[in-house]
Structure 1
């Protein structure tokens, strides 16, 4: 039986040029891949299509973008891809080795790219169950309404925690949610 190897995981955002064959170059607008993966016969994905005339979500089967194939073949997980006329912004999760392999492939293909950020990925970035629970309760009780329908003390009492703990949990959770949102737009 083989042994497992623990790898450091990174989260990265890179910008590449849009491939010449991309439909966006011909029709304008933008695409946002919400999910993208390699199928048996090409790339599959769920995308939001936005143009001056429409906005809709579609499923793509057997997409043949050579750049996306190279990116997925390098061993990275694509979290999202925002495609516009001149550039694609990719949000990735991968090992350091897979990221280096991706950069090598991009250079071999003469693809213009820019590393927007590369950080060590940590579960601390995800909203914990306690943080989710307090955000959901605060939302349901009207804490985020203007004017507020409930005080922080009421939320803390309902959860059986101190007011300062409730405040800390809400602040940490909101910071994570805002960071995730800003990274996705």
Structure 2
């Protein structure tokens, strides 16, 4: 689940990214499109095993019943048993308790799997972030590149090897955080 919103008719529109076995993609799309609980859908197969789009339902999927509780949904995935597993961030434990209570009031069976304190440590140094952002904005990661490593080094007044090392370390940190969040 990427995001969601609730409209004036008490419908829940959910923006989803669904990952399935590549050979099951068409079957999953067909099942979603024929599901009577969905009032509307705008789904597309973006890659083998990857479906993205929006579904609209007047049945609460759990995301809508969290409205007004003060949590921010980071992700939502369906596990192998068909349960929706949501990752949320809240300012305090009471907010999580309020969300759980509200969802239970709406008929959802809730299991709190993990409760953790959010680390406030920055992933990248400000220098790494500045360089990575500049490289991104100027097209270093485009194909073809719109700026070269040499030009980046000149812009930051450092050697080519320093730019290369900083970009590599920044990418490694970000990929590490990305994959850690998906497990």
Class of the TM-score when normalised by the shorter of the 2 chains: 0.5 to 0.7
Query: Which of residues 98, 118, 130 is equivalent to 1:101?
Result: 98
Equivalence for 1:175: 173
How far apart, CA to CA, are the structure 2 residues paired with 1:37 and 1:117?
26
Equivalence for 2:5: 37
Distance 1:121 1:44, change over 3 A: farther
Aligned length: 144
TM-score, length-scaled by structure 2 = 0.56
Greater mean alpha carbon deviation, residues 77-86 or residues 50-59: 50-59
Larger RCO (CA within 8 A; separation ≥ 6): 1
Q: Where in structure 2 are there 5+ consecutive unaligned residues? A: 27-44, 46-50
Mapped pair 1:111 → 2:110: yes
Q: Is the 8 A contact 2:76 2:85 kept in 1?
A: yes
Equivalence for 1:82: 77
Q: Is the 8 A contact 2:15 2:53 kept in 1?
A: yes
More strand by share: 1
Q: Is the 8 A contact 1:37 1:45 kept in 2?
A: yes
TM-score, length-scaled by structure 1 = 0.55
User: RMSD over aligned Cα, in angstroms?
Assistant: 3.8
Q: Is the 8 A contact 1:36 1:78 kept in 2?
A: no
Query: Which of residues 33, 45, 48 is equivalent to 2:17?
Result: 48
Q: Where in structure 1 are there 5+ consecutive unaligned residues? A: 1-32, 144-149
- SS, match of residue 110 in structure 2: coil
How far apart, CA to CA, are the structure 2 residues paired with 1:38 and 1:120?
30
